[in-house]
């Protein structure tokens, strides 16, 4: 039987897919946690296609710049800094040096908060996002709870460069300032306060992944010897902002699950303090309700 393509069998692998396989091995050897995914994402970025369309790139269109971005990722530069964007729930965010890159584990934190707000008997719930960074949390809440009034605060001017880009055209009210003193005009009126604050202990610096330690802003990562300094301060901020019966949601490290709920103690005006797991069943965030007098 005659073979197609001039008697030769077709090559089952394109040049690009072969290069992706080689890049995957290089990234794996460098300790990148998800080498295959990152190799494919970088290939899609360089060639201007979606990840699922890589097989459509012609051999003649292979772009040698692919190896430049692979080398950057091999050196543990964050994938999101190279491509310039990060995905979070239903959002595509612009990110880069100076702003904390949102992590997948925070999506479960926001999911819980969205369910909590939807369950409230409030026509236009008021939500405050403290330490908003890229704006991922505030924007997700605004998008998925359409009648909510969402406010966000960020201190870092470097981070705000990205926050403002992401929030352009949104209905989130963004302010620059200290999360501990933010929104005095909303005292006692907020239905839900949420935050993904810095929570890594200073003593853990050497164990932090290079992508975070060397590229995320230090002020977005570390918070005192036990990592809980800012969360202790945010407890008072949340209590000031919330109406009686309002809820606070705070992300923390999976090693802090036994500690954070105790910060929201009954003698400080809280009730129902509890911890919640992420999708990997690790303690990921604490919630509490402001006591009703």
Residue whose structure tokens are 């460098």 = 30
Query: For the stretch 202-225, what's the b/e string if a residue is b when 16 or more beta carbons lie within 10 angstroms of its beta carbon?
Result: eeeeeeeeebbbebbbeebbbbbe
What are phi and psi for residue 161, nearest 5 degrees? -55, -40
End-to-end CA gap in the chain: 86
Catalytic site residue 201?
no
Do 148 and 142 form a contact (C-beta atoms < 8 A)? yes
Catalytic residue among 45, 88, 100, 222: 100
What region does 114 belong to: left with phi over 0, alpha with psi -120 to 50, or beta? alpha
Query: What does the angle CA 189 – CA 192 – CA 194 come to, to the nearest 5 degrees?
Result: 130
Catalytic residue among 35, 196, 201, 283: 196
What region does 175 belong to: left with phi over 0, alpha with psi -120 to 50, or beta? beta
What are phi and psi for residue 84, nearest 5 degrees? 85, 5
Residue 102 DSSP code:
P
- In this structure, the number of other CB atoms found within 10 A of the CB of residue 120 comes to 15
Catalytic site residue 104?
no
- In this structure, the number of other CB atoms found within 10 A of the CB of residue 93 comes to 24
Catalytic site residue 5?
no
Q: Please report which helix (H) or strand (E) contains residue 235, including its range.
A: helix 229-241
Catalytic residue among 102, 125, 197, 283: 197
Residue 222 DSSP code:
B
Tell me which residues are annotated as active site: 100, 196-197
């Amino acid at each position: 039987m005659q073979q197609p393509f001039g008697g030769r069998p077709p090559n089952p692998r394109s040049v690009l897919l072969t290069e992706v396989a080689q890049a995957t091995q290089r990234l794996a050897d460098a300790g990148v946690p998800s080498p295959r995914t990152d190799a494919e994402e970088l290939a899609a970025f360089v060639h201007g296609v979606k990840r699922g369309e890589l097989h459509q790139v012609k051999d003649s269109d292979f772009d040698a710049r692919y190896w430049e971005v692979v080398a950057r990722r091999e050196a543990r530069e964050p994938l999101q800094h190279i491509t310039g964007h990060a995905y979070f729930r239903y959002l595509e965010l612009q990110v880069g040096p100076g702003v904390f890159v949102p992590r997948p584990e925070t999506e479960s934190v926001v999911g819980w908060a969205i369910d909590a707000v939807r369950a409230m008997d409030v026509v236009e719930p008021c939500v405050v996002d403290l330490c908003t960074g890229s704006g991922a949390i505030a924007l997700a809440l605004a998008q998925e709870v359409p009648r909510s009034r969402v406010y966000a605060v960020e201190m870092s001017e470097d981070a705000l460069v990205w926050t403002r880009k992401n929030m352009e055209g949104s209905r989130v009210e963004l302010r620059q300032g200290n999360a501990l003193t933010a929104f005095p005009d909303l005292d006692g009126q907020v239905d839900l306060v949420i935050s993904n604050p810095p929570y890594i202990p200073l003593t853990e610096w050497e164990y932090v992944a290079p992508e975070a330690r060397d590229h995320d802003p230090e002020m977005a990562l570390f918070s005192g010897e036990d990592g809980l300094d800012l969360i202790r301060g945010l407890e008072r901020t949340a209590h000031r902002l919330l109406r009686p019966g309002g809820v606070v949601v705070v992300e923390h490290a999976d090693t802090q699950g036994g500690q954070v709920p105790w910060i929201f103690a009954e003698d400080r005006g809280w009730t129902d303090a509890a911890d919640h797991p992420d999708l990997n069943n690790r303690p990921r965030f604490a919630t509490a309700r402001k006591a009703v007098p």
